[in-house]
Structure 1
Amino acid sequence: MTIEIGDTLPSVSFKTMTPDGSKVLSTADIFSGKKVVLFGVPGAFTPTCSNNHLPGYLENHDAFLARGVDTIAVVAVNDQFVMQAWARFTGGEGKILFLADGSAEFAKATGLDLDATAGGMGIRSKRFSMIVDDGKVTALNIEEAPGQAVTSGAATLLEQL
């Protein structure tokens, strides 16, 4: 079953890189008591993710914060080292929280998993965006075509805030 507006995010763990190395963050660590913009991508460094999806969130970073967002986060079914490299490559370090869902635990728990085995990518995350207020989903946008980043783009979420 796919997560819906009004649902509370499942309790899972993510990995992220810090100056002190790899760190585990729980859903509670990231979302409790905060308004968070979370978007998910099938994979770091993939064309649509790097060229279309992530840039909108970087460009609108200040606009999100001005509308009361505490954190902008991106999640992908990649390891924390790939996510760290992607953050550096895109200039997203310090602006966006890059979350590794290496085993697709979050993607599966929310019903946002995507079987991309035919394309050689295994289980990934669907392309999505959501607003999460204190752990509860208040807006959710799931892209129908994984090669597009319109419904789940930054402009859509800015309108929903």
Structure 2
Amino acid sequence: MTIQIGQSLPDIELSVVGEEIRPCRTGELFAGSRVVLFAVPGAFTPTCSSRHLPGYAQRYADFQETGVKVMCLAVNDAYVMQAWARAQQVPPGLLMLADGNASFTRALGLELDGSAFGMGLRARRFALYVEGGVVRLLRVEAPGELRVSSAEAMLAAIGG
């Protein structure tokens, strides 16, 4: 079942990727913060690399001005996420989260079976707005779309 507005995020360990890679529980990551978490089906994939992540990187300062943290999630290993962040020149502070086993993605009920495309289990393209670990807004894209989970759409939705 897909997580619903008003529910708390599951507390699961992910890898936080930057210059260093460190494990962190989602309960700790989201505690006491306002966060936009957006998920992509895969690092280095076409739409994710040409539009989704770059949109958040370009608008990162706008989120900062509203006091909202930004995090990007993908069902990839931490080293792939680290290489992708470097290739995309992700600004410091925009957290890249590796959900290598899709544990968090499955717990959210937002997994996608990409086996037909040789990708295995992945995250659906979505964005969540979270306050103190509680989901306040959920936007899930229709297959092949990038509209409701874009940086611009989420900024408009949260009043940024």
TM range (shorter): over 0.9
1:148 is matched by which residue type in structure 2?
Answer: E
Task: Report the alpha carbon displacement of residue 93 of structure 1 after superposing the two structures with TM.
Answer: 4.4
Task: Report the alpha carbon displacement of residue 153 of structure 1 after superposing the two structures with TM.
Answer: 0.5
Task: Report if aligned partners of 1:16, 1:83 keep a CA contact under 8 Å in 2.
Answer: no
Match of 2:120 among 108, 119, 122: 122
Alignment of 1:11-90 (within 5 A): 11-19=11-19, 21-69=20-68, 71-90=69-88
Q: Which runs of 4+ in 1 moved over 3 A?
A: none
Task: Report the alpha carbon displacement of residue 155 of structure 1 after superposing the two structures with TM.
Answer: 1.0
Task: Report if aligned partners of 2:57, 2:91 keep a CA contact under 8 Å in 1.
Answer: no
Describe the SS at the equivalent of 1:157.
helix
- Tell me the C-alpha RMSD between the 2 structures: 1.1
Unaligned runs of 5+ in 2: none
Give a deviation string over 1:1-55, Cα, whole Å, max 9, x none.
Answer: 0011111101111012344x43101012210001111000000000010111111
Q: Which whole-Å CA distance do the structure 1 matches of 2:91 and 2:119 have between them?
A: 25
**Structure-2 residue corresponding to 1:142:** 140
Q: Which whole-Å CA distance do the structure 1 matches of 2:13 and 2:149 have between them?
A: 23
Q: Which whole-Å CA distance do the structure 1 matches of 2:91 and 2:102 have between them?
A: 23
Q: Which whole-Å CA distance do the structure 2 matches of 1:18 and 1:86 have between them?
A: 11
- The alignment covers a number of residue pairs equal to 158
Match of 1:156 among 143, 148, 153: 153
Task: Report the alpha carbon displacement of residue 99 of structure 1 after superposing the two structures with TM.
Answer: 0.3
1:150 is matched by which residue type in structure 2?
Answer: R
Describe the SS at the equivalent of 1:83.
helix
Task: Report if aligned partners of 1:53, 1:149 keep a CA contact under 8 Å in 2.
Answer: yes
Q: Which whole-Å CA distance do the structure 1 matches of 2:140 and 2:81 have between them?
A: 21
Provide the TM-score with structure 1 as the length reference. 0.94
Provide the TM-score with structure 2 as the length reference. 0.95
Task: Report if aligned partners of 1:16, 1:84 keep a CA contact under 8 Å in 2.
Answer: no
Counting aligned pairs with the same residue, the percent is 45
Q: Which whole-Å CA distance do the structure 2 matches of 1:17 and 1:32 have between them?
A: 18
**Structure-2 residue corresponding to 1:97:** 95
Describe the SS at the equivalent of 1:28.
helix
Q: Which whole-Å CA distance do the structure 2 matches of 1:17 and 1:159 have between them?
A: 27
Q: Which whole-Å CA distance do the structure 2 matches of 1:42 and 1:23 have between them?
A: 22
Q: Which whole-Å CA distance do the structure 2 matches of 1:93 and 1:26 have between them?
A: 22
Q: Which whole-Å CA distance do the structure 2 matches of 1:17 and 1:74 have between them?
A: 10
